[in-house]
Amino acid sequence: MRKGKMKEEEIKKTIKTEDGWEPVGPTPMPSLTDLRNWDFRLLQTYEPFYAPFCDLCCLCTFGKCDLTEDRKGACGIDIATQQARWILICCLMGTAAHGAHGRHMIDYLIEKHGEDFKIDLGSQVNVEAPIIRTVLGLKPETLGDLKKAIAYVEDEMIHLVSATHMGQEGNYKDFESKAFHAGMLDHVALEAADIAQIVGFGYPTSVADTPLVDLGWSSVNQEKPTIVVVGHNALVANSIVDYLRQNGLNDQVELAGLCCTALDMTRYDKGAKVIGPLSRQRFFLKTGYADVIVTDEQCVVTDIPQMAKDAGAALVAVSDKICYGLPNCSEKDVDQVFKMVVDEEQQVLILDADKAAEIAVRAAMALAPKRRELKKILTKEEATKLAAKCRGTCEACNRACANLLPINNAVFKTAQGDFTDLGKLFLRCIGCAKCEEACVNGIPILKLMQTAADGDTYKIRTGRGPIHDVEIRKVGSPIVLGTIPGVVLFAGCSNFPQDIYDVAWLAEELARRKYIVCLSGCSAMAAAMSKDEEGRTIYEKFPPEFDAGCIVNVGSCVSNAHVVGAAIKIANIFATLPNRANFELISDYILNRVGACGVVWGPYSQKALAIGTGAVRWGIPVVLGPHGSKYRRLFMSKKELDDWTVINGRTAELVDTKEPTPEHMMVVTETKERALITIIKQCFRRNDTPPGRGIKLNSYISAYKQLIGTLPDDLQNFVRTEKDIPIVYKREVISYLKEIGWQPKPVLSLPTIIGTYDTKVPIEATIK
Amino acid sequence: MATEIMTHPYYKVNVLTGSKGARIITEPEEAARIIDKAKTPLYVFGAEVIDTPVGDKLLIDYALQIAQSRDIPICATAHVKRKMLELQVTPDSVYDIIEIVHFLKDKDWTGVRGQGQHDLVLFTGVRCDLAERGLATLKHFAPHLKTFAICRRSHPNADYAVPIIAKGGKWQEYLAALVKTLGTVTPAA
């Protein structure tokens, strides 16, 4: 249905059209189909690649329907369309998780500070919300404005969810367009949520050199009463900090966290500890170090109540998303709840942040003296004895392992008193504990791992939030010209295929080559878990600015918005393109001119899928680790065999550039080695100047030689003229190009795909 | 044609959730017959061929022998090319695993030697969960070719799969017998 006049008026009112900060572009608060042509244009070059995870459709009572090969479901759906429908459903889950998080955070902060509470991100950040400005056309000035952004996300989502019903959408490209929409909405929610918590809780902003804090499971001082918060919404964690401060208990109680709550909590209190990412949840909670476990929301393993019970720890659930069947004690008197938790050992649900905070602290202090014996991990002798039940032959653990690890050998060696392999396994373990479930002898493998695991403590820089406008002014030109070879964001989860060290390795390889490297969430934590010979993590080795050769921790999952925001700001601040309600113009600029790439090396969550899918709509390619294949959809070109025609913005003529850049928009790589060269390649842009392309090719060739041993096999695709060839490799490259019959390709300074499809955006708009 | 649903593969994450499972090729001779029969085969080497021991050799040694015995072109994925060059072998093509699967979907693709799309694609050494996703893609979207997972963990989404072979010695025997038999079995009519 087209937007009616009433809807248009409503949009004008919401985005305050009369505010003249920029003229309103063609797509204010876009609905499901407003950006469909843009999406279809992307899909024309980057065809969806489906890897069905299940051949059936089990979504309605017509079925199960077998969709193998060219069979159709009773409703008429085919296997490709069903994959695309799943993708939309999963993106919606991710968007809903971030959106509900944002809604909760904003409502709470409005309750606390009022709707008119001003958004002030400090002296370095004037373009406060590039995503909301570009998508909605709204310049948010208050918490109340952020609420409008979340309301827009909610409004759109009801239509998207509707499209997944039986007998609704029936074409895979339209499902993908809707998934793009969900992904874009996800980014709106991320930005609104992080801005709200930055201003509402006073997190760092307009500063790059944020504090370094302790990370690692051994950083927790279990001698003290210990509270461990788990999840992604730091609201209650921050209330715990407040309670500790107000009662002078900071030094007496240990506060630590798992996943993004931990990261966000350290933005509020640098004394809090980060235990690690999701992959460490079960591992740590089984140590018994936590006297009180507080669960909030998202990526919280579902069997925490049992683990808490087994560890003799108290459990306080604080989110309406995760109630665990527990009694709701939100209205009860604090002393009464305290008694339930401490004396009666009841697990409770408390939906009042301040009350939950008080209970958590008081319970931890009361329980800690009684739990000293429960905080001990196994001695080597005890672990060896338990492992002795393993014969090393049944391989039930290996077969159940979600990360395909050789567990049996490690456990068997442990039985012989050799913990080396089990210690190495810890670095690759994703913490699902399916091995324990499968073990026919009931060996507590994760507990054995605690004895074998490296107990080092690391430093991570706390999340810094938005990229500064002044930083964008400095790097905008070199990024667009290509002389800063790229901006790479490591986002998402800890479902790493190999060692947890690999994120740090990738980040360092890129920073050494002068890429701007950003990290967030579980990836930011994992990247801290590796030290050089001098004992420094990458956060201590590299500067924290948004500049060439720097390493930036933007913060938690919701902080991912700031890196997409930086790409938008390059178009808006550096190139002075208007971004208000101008999604296509800005995304076209990013796709063709901003060498940015997102990496999710350990993907598992629907949230990461939504983030990645949103990035693609903005024109930012995404590289996934092997587990990403289980998302079941990628976006890939056929490389040099495809049509790479774009428009030369200066002449408005079609030009066949013959160069596949960016080559893919979402691709899986199998190994870290392949990931590095793929990331480097995904930062090539058509707009690169010859010196800029030379710098990028220098990175590509050096990495390829280092890891694969030769010149890149597809080098000819990316050398446009001899001027692109880096001097150090000139002779070798020219010889190779002659050998394979390479022909020069056009170099464009203003490439655009605006005008290659039906759009309201005129080609002239791409030139400023 | 749909075949009997195979027994569970080694890894639980790869359990088939569909109605068309691989034909299990228990005997190396039968495997050789399938390969010999192919007119334009391709062999995809995954990253694990580099460092997976098979007896006193590496998996890549056997994979190379299989490829070379029938002049099967090789696609080196991940960073396999480096190891191949050390072994004095140049791969016919270098793509990452998902890229080669993407090309194989296209019935009009001219193959790694430009001689036409492949009719049989062998896979060895690709990480098992990733391999299974690529095989699922080809099962659904590449009816013009057959796939054969030469992997002792077994792959239900392939057209042909080796059964689970738990013991390393048996696996070595299977591979050795396959190498020995290739080219000696009369293709079935």
**A638-665: pLDDT as tens digits:** 999 999 999 999 999 999 999 999 999 9
Q: Are residues A57 and A173 in the same domain?
A: yes
When the pLDDT of each residue in chain A is averaged and rounded to a whole number, the result is 97
Tokens of B164: 């689970």
A206 in any annotated domain: no
What one-character DSSP code corresponds to residue B149?
E
DSSP reduced 3-state for A315: strand
Residue B1 banded pLDDT, cuts 50, 70, 90: very low
| pLDDT 10s digits, A473-516 | 999 999 999 999 999 999 999 999 999 999 999 999 999 999 99
User: What are the chain A neighbours of B12 within 8 Å (beta carbons)?
Assistant: 399-400, 434
B78 in any annotated domain: yes
| pLDDT 10s digits, A12-26 | 999 999 998 999 999
A361 in any annotated domain: yes
Best CA proximity match to A366, nearest among A322, A335, A328, A329: A335
User: What are the chain B neighbours of A626 within 8 Å (beta carbons)?
Assistant: 127, 129-130
B116 in any annotated domain: yes
Residue B189 pLDDT > 50, yes or no?
Answer: no
Q: Are residues A36 and A162 in the same domain?
A: yes
Q: Are residues A28 and A133 in the same domain?
A: yes
Q: Provide the pLDDT for residue B186.
A: 62
Residue B6 banded pLDDT, cuts 50, 70, 90: low
* CA separation for the pair A662, A668 (Å, rounded): 15
Name A292's bridge partners. A227, A314
User: What are the chain B neighbours of A631 within 8 Å (beta carbons)?
Assistant: none
- Other residues' Cβ atoms within 10 Å of the Cβ of residue A382: 14
Minimal C-alpha gap between A55 and chain B (Å): 5
Q: Provide the pLDDT for residue A261.
A: 97
Q: Are residues A327 and A407 in the same domain?
A: no
Q: Are residues A186 and A222 in the same domain?
A: no
* CA separation for the pair A285, A267 (Å, rounded): 23
Q: Provide the pLDDT for residue B187.
A: 55
Asked if A194 and A103 count as a contact pair (C-beta separation under 8 A), the reply is: no
* CA separation for the pair A65, A419 (Å, rounded): 48
Best CA proximity match to A525, nearest among A538, A510, A543, A508: A538
Q: Are residues A186 and A231 in the same domain?
A: no
B53 in any annotated domain: yes
Give the residue from A201, A234, A251 where a domain finishes: A201
Q: Are residues A27 and A153 in the same domain?
A: yes
Q: Is A8 exposed, middle or buried (0-12, 13-18, 19+ CB in 10 A)?
A: middle
DSSP reduced 3-state for A641: helix
Name B140's bridge partners. none
> Does the predicted model carry a pTM greater than 0.90?
yes
A603 in any annotated domain: no
B19 in any annotated domain: no
Q: Which domain holds residue B133?
A: 33-181
Q: Are residues A148 and A277 in the same domain?
A: no
Tokens of A10: 């409503």
Residue B37's identity, in one-letter code, is K
B146 in any annotated domain: yes
Q: Which domain holds residue A389?
A: 385-452
What are the residue ranges of helices labelled H in B1-127?
28-37, 59-69, 80-86, 97-104
| pLDDT 10s digits, B128-147 | 999 999 999 999 999 999 99
Q: Which residue's entry shows tokens 């056929």?
A: A638
Tokens of A309: 């019970």
Residue A175 banded pLDDT, cuts 50, 70, 90: very high
Is the sign of the CA dihedral A424, A426, A428, A433 positive or negative? positive
Asked if A252 and A225 count as a contact pair (C-beta separation under 8 A), the reply is: yes
Tokens of A43: 């899909």
| pLDDT 10s digits, B98-107 | 999 999 999 9
Option in B79, B97, B109 nearest A707 (CB):
B79
CA dihedral A500, A503, A509, A510 (to 10 degrees): 180
Asked if A605 and A586 count as a contact pair (C-beta separation under 8 A), the reply is: no
Cβ separation B17–A53 shorter than 8 A:
yes
Cβ separation A404–B11 shorter than 8 A:
yes
DSSP string, A42-83: HHHHSEEEE--S-SEE-SSTT--EE--TT---TTS--HHHHH
A738 in any annotated domain: yes
Identify the helix (H) or strand (E) that includes residue A461: strand A458-461
Option in B19, B109, B130 nearest A626 (CB):
B130
Cβ separation B85–A710 shorter than 8 A:
yes
Q: Provide the pLDDT for residue A767.
A: 84
Distances (CA, A) of A405 to A279, A409, A411, A454, A569: 14, 10, 12, 18, 43
| pLDDT 10s digits, B32-72 | 999 999 999 999 999 999 999 999 999 999 999 999 999 99
Best CA proximity match to A737, nearest among A683, A706, A684, A697: A697
DSSP string, A81-102: HHHHHHHHHHHHHHHHHHHHHH
Residue A164 pLDDT > 60, yes or no?
Answer: yes
CATH code of the domain in which A301 resides: 3.40.50.2030
Asked if B107 and A643 count as a contact pair (C-beta separation under 8 A), the reply is: no
Residue B4 pLDDT > 60, yes or no?
Answer: no
Residue B2 banded pLDDT, cuts 50, 70, 90: very low
Q: Is A639 exposed, middle or buried (0-12, 13-18, 19+ CB in 10 A)?
A: middle
Asked if A624 and A489 count as a contact pair (C-beta separation under 8 A), the reply is: no
B123 in any annotated domain: yes
Q: Are residues A154 and A288 in the same domain?
A: no
Q: Count structural domains, chain B.
A: 1
Q: Please, which residues 125-164 of chain B have a Cβ atom closer than 8 Å to chain A?
A: 126-130, 133-134, 136-137, 139-141, 143
Residue B167 banded pLDDT, cuts 50, 70, 90: very high
Q: Please, which residues 41-60 of chain B have a Cβ atom closer than 8 Å to chain A?
A: 46-47
Task: Work out whether strand B23-24 and strand A633-636 pair parallel, antiparallel, or are unpaired.
Answer: unpaired
What one-character DSSP code corresponds to residue A188?
H
Q: Provide the pLDDT for residue A310.
A: 96
Cβ separation A53–B133 shorter than 8 A:
yes
| pLDDT 10s digits, B76-103 | 999 999 999 999 999 999 999 999 999 9
A651 in any annotated domain: no
Cβ–Cβ contact B169 with A under 8 A: no
What one-character DSSP code corresponds to residue A368?
G
Tokens of A13: 């009112």
Q: Mutual orientation of helices A445-452 and A407-415 as an angle, nearest 10°?
A: 70
User: What are the chain B neighbours of A50 within 8 Å (beta carbons)?
Assistant: 137, 140-141
Option in A629, A638, A678 nearest B133 (CB):
A629
B17 in any annotated domain: no
* CA separation for the pair A301, A624 (Å, rounded): 23
Asked if B57 and B87 count as a contact pair (C-beta separation under 8 A), the reply is: no
Q: What is the mean pLDDT of residues B25-37?
A: 97
Tokens of A318: 């604080």
To probe the interface with B, which of A46, A55, A395 has the most B CB atoms within 10 Å?
A55
Q: Provide the pLDDT for residue A455.
A: 86
Q: What is the mean pLDDT of residues A465-469?
A: 98
Residue B184 banded pLDDT, cuts 50, 70, 90: confident
Q: Provide the pLDDT for residue A48.
A: 98
Q: Are residues A353 and A251 in the same domain?
A: yes
Which residue of chain B is at minimal alpha-carbon distance from A638? B103
Option in A636, A673, A678 nearest B102 (CB):
A636
Asked if A127 and A569 count as a contact pair (C-beta separation under 8 A), the reply is: yes
Q: Is B92 exposed, middle or buried (0-12, 13-18, 19+ CB in 10 A)?
A: middle
CATH code of the domain in which B130 resides: 3.40.50.1220
Q: Count structural domains, chain A.
A: 4
Q: Are residues A322 and A390 in the same domain?
A: no
Best CA proximity match to A131, nearest among A153, A109, A110, A116: A153
Could you tell me how far CA A678 lies from the centroid of its own chain?
A: 19
User: What are the chain B neighbours of A497 within 8 Å (beta carbons)?
Assistant: 127
A472 in any annotated domain: no
Q: b/e for A235-262, b at 16 or more Cβ within 10 A?
A: bbbbbbbbbbeeeebeeebbbbbbbbbb
Tokens of A66: 């077998």
Best CA proximity match to A562, nearest among A465, A701, A655, A487: A465
Give the residue from A414, A437, A452 where a domain finishes: A452
Q: Provide the pLDDT for residue A1.
A: 62
Cβ separation B130–A670 shorter than 8 A:
yes
Q: Are residues A259 and A346 in the same domain?
A: yes
B59 in any annotated domain: yes
Distances (CA, A) of A285 to A309, A312, A377, A411, A437: 11, 11, 11, 21, 17
Give the residue from A148, A173, A201 where a domain finishes: A201
Q: What is the mean pLDDT of residues A545-549?
A: 98
Minimal C-alpha gap between B65 and chain A (Å): 22
Task: Work out whether strand A622-624 and strand A653-656 pair parallel, antiparallel, or are unpaired.
Answer: unpaired
Name A635's bridge partners. A48, A666
User: What are the chain B neighbours of A68 within 8 Å (beta carbons)?
Assistant: 2, 18-20, 139-140
Tokens of B96: 């990452």
